[in-house]
Chain A
């Protein structure tokens, strides 16, 4: 079965530090990739997505992610974090050949940014 692994469960950074959150998935075929964010007390919202084309994807709020097919990875990056980036981040994968279209989510990474 497909799985998604987020290596960092809890990350603590100071403001202006650079961020990279790891995401690896197990499926070798065509995939669609997503990063969602959940700010404290708010609903899950989409940060960015990759379906095809340029493997470097830019999202909202200065986030970007790079799809590296050979490494089965889709890591999330931000060059300089802000206190307002404190949130939980989820990587998700959709099997491109699936007849269900369902998303498989990683375990989530809690990011705490210290002012």
Chain B
């Protein structure tokens, strides 16, 4: 079974803090994704990576950055957290982003106060 894990289920941070969200997958997948999930908006892609040290902007990259130093780990960084970044963050991975489905982690619910 594919396993995608995220470092925290719940996180509370203050405005202006730098926030790191970590995601690890154990299936040697090349492709990893970060989404945010908001009520009524579904999932929106923030960034994705198709190889180590490679990254591509998704649909809503503003205010975020990512890091992929190792194949199994994909980090989402909020350089200076703001209240409008309060959301559920989901990580996903897939072996082949054109042919296969994505496997999701449990999510991190981030609250920025």
Contact = CB atoms under 8 A, between A and B. Distances in A.
Given A43-B105, A45-B104, A101 B97 contact: yes
Contacts of A42: 106
What is the interface residue range for chain A against chain B? Answer: 20 to 34
Contact of B90 (A34, A44, A100, A108): A44
Contacts, number: 49
Interface residues of B, number: 25
A43 B43 contact: no
B73 interface: no
Interface string B74-113: 0000000000000000101000111101101111000000
Contacts of B56: 100
A90 B105 contact: no
Contacts of A43: 4, 90, 104-107
Interface of B: 4, 31, 33, 35, 40-45, 48, 56, 58, 90, 92, 96-99, 101-102, 104-107
